[in-house]
Amino acid sequence: MKRKQPKTGITLGELVWESIKGERMAELLRAAKLKRTPQRVAIIRELFNDPTHPTAQELYDRLRPDQPTLSFATVYNTLSALAERGLCASRSFERGPVRYDPNVGPHDHAVCDTCGLVSDVPLEERSRRAAGSPVEGFSVRAVERIYRGLCANCAQ
């Protein structure tokens, strides 16, 4: 029997960002079709409180000291389930492992050439493209802009 998602009157983005505070953690886990466990709650809290787009390994390494029963598979599978349901995004920035982005709204990224730091760059209203495809015969799913250079720490 399929379980229906509760109608909460809030958007998916609002549900995700409210989860940062832990107020709607149960709803987020239900939306991802995951059972609530202390490990999953810790993974989600850590992801949504980290603006650097962490990798599964980084999250695992951070959480393992406080969650001795946590496995890398749990971290990876939780992140994959969230990404499959649009509750976070998996991002590949050419070199290195996949990173997970809790910001599912439209935005660009800045990537440091030296340390690999990834930061969100909010879109300006004028940079938003009208609906439709700028490439003939091609259905655009997303437009992403990546700024590459040095972060403030590496530029010093």
Residues 114 and 85 in one domain: no
Residue 84 sits in a domain whose CATH number is 1.10.10.10
Residues 52 and 114 in one domain: no
Domain around 139? 106-155
> Would you give the distance in Å from CA 111 to the centre of its chain?
16
The pTM score is 0.74
Residue 122 covered by a domain: yes
Residues 86 and 16 in one domain: yes
Number of structural domains in the chain: 2
Residues 81 and 132 in one domain: no
Residues 26 and 65 in one domain: yes
> Would you give the distance in Å from CA 58 to the centre of its chain?
14
Residue 2 covered by a domain: no
Comparing CA positions, the residue from 104, 99, 105, 103 lying closest to residue 117 is 99
The Cα 147–Cα 67 span in angstroms is 36
Residues 78 and 117 in one domain: no
Phi-psi region at 110: left, alpha or beta (left = phi > 0; alpha = psi -120 to 50): beta
* DSSP alpha helix (H) spans, 1-156: 12-19, 25-31, 38-48, 56-63, 72-84, 152-155
Residue 135 sits in a domain whose CATH number is 3.30.1490.190
CB atoms inside a 10 Å sphere around CB 22: 13
Q: Which two tokens stand for residue 156?
A: 């010093």
Q: Which two tokens stand for residue 9?
A: 């009157």
pLDDT tens-digit profile, the chain (156 residues): 333 444 455 555 555 555 455 556 777 788 788 888 889 889 988 998 888 899 999 999 999 999 999 999 999 999 999 999 888 999 988 777 899 998 888 888 999 989 888 988 887 643 444 445 566 778 777 777 889 999 999 998
Residues 62 and 119 in one domain: no
Residue 67 covered by a domain: yes
